[in-house]
């Protein structure tokens, strides 16, 4: 029972940053914007969160700093792509490279220092239950926040006027503009929300998953989050399922190494990325599935006076 509990807890911690980053990118893409800078926003959230928590001794302030860093990076991307109308793909890649370099510079003095860990929530009576207690009622606040954000995004996109505006902006920005919707403002808001979620994901890595700072600690999770959005065909509920599936694959690779099964460690380390590629190949082969929720204007620039 204790071994099963340990595996479930590690799966949750591995899946949470993927879910946070992916649900933010999903909203960004549903508005018609492709932001490939998720990795850069995550790693900046990680270093900002760690630095703030270490300096102040408060994990809560670390979370705030991580969110601020993610939003700041996303607004830089928004200014370049929505105001200056730069290419979204090139700008997103540049944002990732910028984030990786800047985070290494900022975090140079924090490498190897002990971090401040987010305290798990304890519910009297429930958290002490065998197996289910620690798994369901003993997580930190960001785990519950990731699930709440997923439910909120699913409800907003499908049941509210705001969700209709976001989907209309991503589906046909010219028609949305003709109807009086402020396309650029909507996209700015969605990009900022994506940055908020990516910053939270990065903060979770340095404050909960492994409470320390090492350079490039996002380790490709931003790219997996981007793949998860396509894997889920832009549906929030399927993003959650995909994040926990990929988190399980990630942890199973480490678990197999730990029990000494004779499989090369390099192959096991690459397993999450191989599964990502396989999933994308399967999804792309089903054209009907990919067209269901795919924003028609994704990646396209919009200038109101044209």
Quote the pLDDT of residue 222: 94
Q: Is 1 a residue whose pLDDT tops 60?
A: no
Contact predicate 40/100, CB 8 Å: yes
CB-based burial, 140-175: b 16+ in 10 Å, e otherwise: bbbbebbeebbeebbebbeeeeebebbbbbbbbbee
For position 122, what pLDDT does the model report?
A: 84
Helix (H) / strand (E) containing 288? helix 287-293
Is 30:211 a contact under the CB 8 Å cutoff?
no
- Confidence at residue 290, expressed as pLDDT on a 0 to 100 scale: 67
Alpha-carbon separation of residue 235 from 16, 27, 60, 151 (angstroms): 17, 10, 30, 11
State how far the Cα of 211 lies from the Cα of 13, in Å rounded to an integer.
Answer: 12
Contact assessment for residue 41 and residue 200, using Cβ atoms and an 8 Å cutoff? no
Q: Is 80 exceeded by the pLDDT of residue 82?
A: yes
Say which residues have a Cβ less than 8 Å from residue 83's Cβ, sequence separation at least 6: 184
How far is it, in rounded angstroms, from Cα 189 to Cα 125?
A: 41
- Mean pLDDT over residues 226-235, rounded? 89
Q: How confident is the model at residue 265 (pLDDT cuts 50, 70, 90)?
A: low
Mean pLDDT for 276-280 is: 76
pLDDT tops 80 at residue 238: yes
What fold, for 2-293? Answer: ABC transporter involved in vitamin B12 uptake, BtuC (1.10.3470)
Alpha carbon 188 to chain centroid distance?
A: 18
Q: Write down the residue that tokens 């209309």 correspond to.
A: 168
Q: Say if pTM beats, i.e. exceeds, 0.85.
A: yes
Tokens 């595996």 appear where?
A: 7
Tokens read off for 15:
């899946």
CA dihedral 147, 8, 62, 58 (to 10 degrees): 120
| Distance in angstroms (rounded) separating the CA atoms of residues 272 and 261 | 18
- For residue 98, which of 69, 62, 67 has the smallest C-alpha distance? 69
Q: If 0-12 CB within 10 Å is exposed, 13-18 middle and 19+ buried, where does residue 78 land?
A: buried
Summarised one tens digit per residue, pLDDT across range 86-137 is: 999 999 999 999 999 999 999 999 988 988 999 888 888 888 888 788 888 8
Do residues 51 and 106 touch, judged by C-beta distance below 8 A? yes
Higher pLDDT residue, 268 or 84?
84
33 burial type by CB count under 10 A (0-12 exposed, 13-18 middle, 19+ buried): buried
């Amino acid at each position: 029972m204790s071994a099963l509990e340990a595996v479930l807890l590690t799966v949750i911690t591995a899946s949470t940053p993927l879910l946070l980053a992916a649900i933010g990118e999903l909203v960004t893409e549903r508005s018609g914007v492709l932001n490939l800078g998720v990795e850069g926003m995550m790693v900046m959230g990680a270093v900002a969160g760690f630095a703030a928590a270490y300096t102040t001794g408060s994990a809560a302030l670390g979370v705030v700093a991580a969110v601020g860093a993610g939003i700041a990076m996303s607004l830089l991307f928004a200014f370049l792509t929505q105001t200056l109308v730069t290419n979204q793909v090139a700008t997103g890649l540049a944002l990732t490279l910028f984030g990786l370099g800047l985070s290494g510079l900022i975090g140079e003095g924090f490498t190897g220092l002990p971090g401040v860990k987010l305290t798990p929530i304890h519910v009297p009576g429930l958290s002490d239950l065998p197996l289910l207690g620690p798994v369901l009622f003993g997580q930190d606040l960001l785990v519950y926040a990731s699930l709440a954000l997923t439910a909120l995004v699913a409800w907003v996109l499908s049941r509210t006027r705001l969700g209709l505006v976001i989907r209309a902006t991503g589906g046909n920005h010219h028609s949305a503009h003709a109807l009086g919707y402020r396309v650029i403002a909507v996209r700015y808001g969605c990009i900022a929300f994506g940055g908020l979620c990516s910053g939270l994901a990065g903060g979770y890595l340095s404050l909960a998953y492994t409470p320390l700072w090492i350079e490039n600690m996002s380790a490709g999770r931003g790219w997996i989050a981007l793949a998860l959005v396509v894997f889920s065909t832009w549906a929030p509920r399927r993003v959650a399922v995909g994040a926990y599936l990929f988190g399980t694959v990630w942890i199973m690779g480490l678990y197999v190494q730990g029990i000494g099964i004779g499989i090369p460690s390099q192959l096991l380390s690459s397993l999450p990325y191989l599964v990502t590629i396989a999933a994308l190949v399967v999804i792309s082969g089903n054209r009907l599935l990919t067209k269901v929720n795919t924003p028609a204007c994704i990646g396209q620039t919009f200038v109101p006076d044209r």
